[in-house]
Amino acid sequence: MAIGSTDVAIRSAWLIAVYGQWSQNDWHHEVADRRSTRIVTFGSLNLTARIDRQQSTLTPAQWHAARQWYLQKIDGCEAVTTADYNSAIKRLESTSWENGRDIGAVACEIPVEHFPTPRHVGLFELTNAQLISVVVPVFNEEATIISVLRRLASVPAVAQIIVVNDASRDHTGECLADLKNSLHESFWTSRLAGGLQILTHQTNQGKGAALRSGFQQITQAWTGVQDADSEYDPNDLMRLLTEAYIQQANVIYGSRFLLNEPGSSPLWHRQGNRLITTLANLSFGLSLTDVETCYKLIDTNRLQRIAPQLRENRFGIEIELTARLARSPGVCFAECPITYDRRTYAEGKKIGLRDGFRALWCMARYR
């Protein structure tokens, strides 16, 4: 449907007015409130995200260090199948670590009063209700796609991977063809009960279109998204899953900015993300710190109810998906900090300025 100039002017004025209401002090107050408050209610929408104080004060590096420390003590690092992993967790649960807490805190460089329990670092037995399908949209990622998939398959809760090759023009297709011929190997069959599927678009359509194709194939209780580059650490999916159960949430976003760690992104990128996130919060009644994050873990039943409505083909899918989730009955959002190793445009980063403008347009369209 064509959009008249009057409509464009009205929507633009709305965006300017909304952002003008949110001062820099308001932003910092809101982030500080999320760090110190256990329950945040999102106004009349009655959406509640519980923020666990112990969980949120751990940096991603500290969280992973504590997790590895526990696993090394029970020889759980090499667990292959879900059954192997659960056996290692049973050994952990049968051991009292109170006396070793001081040792672990020193080894992981975490204050002893903040040293997490095993459950707080995702060490609990996995059932079918905690297994994850991961959709991986990929376009021209020949250098990283296979290593990312191997790391994903090594995450204990990941039971299914769906790769969507969005008409890559480099050697990504050949890499995936070689992978398809090796899926009978034990590395893949022992780790992925739901299998690894490779879908191919004949023409390049964008990340949103790739995700929509992948969402049609999911079979597990939870659905996650993984970019095919190396900016995000697949092991953080266990932290998102942990947060889901600690906070009793059904939508969990991995935030690159929740702890406001310096160096994770250049200033211009952080400020641009801040603008988009602030407007999204005001538009959809949320209280997020990183709406454009790739890492989203969503209850599959909830996702399947809104998936047929999704329309965005490119990066606007991040805003549309958030908007439709925010309006779904009974939704409960939560966030947790994640590892982020940003790459440059020279290294293949694809999102650009026009995607930022599209995000603003999507907010006006889907609010």
Which of 43-52, 110-119, 253-262 is predicted least confidently? 43-52
Question: Does a structural domain hold residue 173?
Answer: no
Average pLDDT over residues 7-18: 47
**Who contacts 271 (Cβ-Cβ below 8 Å, separation ≥6)?**
none
* Structural domain span for residue 106: 58-121
Residue 200 lies in a domain: no
Reported confidence tier of residue 29, pLDDT bands at 50, 70, 90: very low
- pTM for the model: 0.82
Residue pair 217/199 in contact (Cβ under 8 Å)? The answer is yes
pLDDT in tens, 246-296: 899 999 999 988 876 655 566 766 788 888 899 999 999 999 999 999 999
Residue 263, both tokens: 């160096």
pLDDT at 12 exceeding the cut of 60: no
> Is 69 a member of any domain?
yes
Within-domain flag for 85: yes
Q: Give a yes or no: residue 318 inside a domain.
A: no
Q: Which amino acid is at 169?
A: R
pLDDT at 352: 57
Report how many domains make up the chain: 1
What radius of gyration do the chain's Cα atoms show? 21
Lowest mean pLDDT of 85-89, 269-273, 275-279, 356-360, name the range. Answer: 356-360
Residue pair 302/322 in contact (Cβ under 8 Å)? The answer is no
Residue 162 placed within a domain? no
Percent over 90 (pLDDT), the chain: 53
Residue 108 lies in a domain: yes
- On whether residue 145 sits in a domain, the answer given is no
132 is written with which tokens? 């994850």
pLDDT per residue over 160-180, tens digit each? 999 999 999 999 999 999 999
Average pLDDT estimate for 124-150: 96
Q: 120-135 pLDDT, tens per residue?
A: 898 999 999 999 999 9
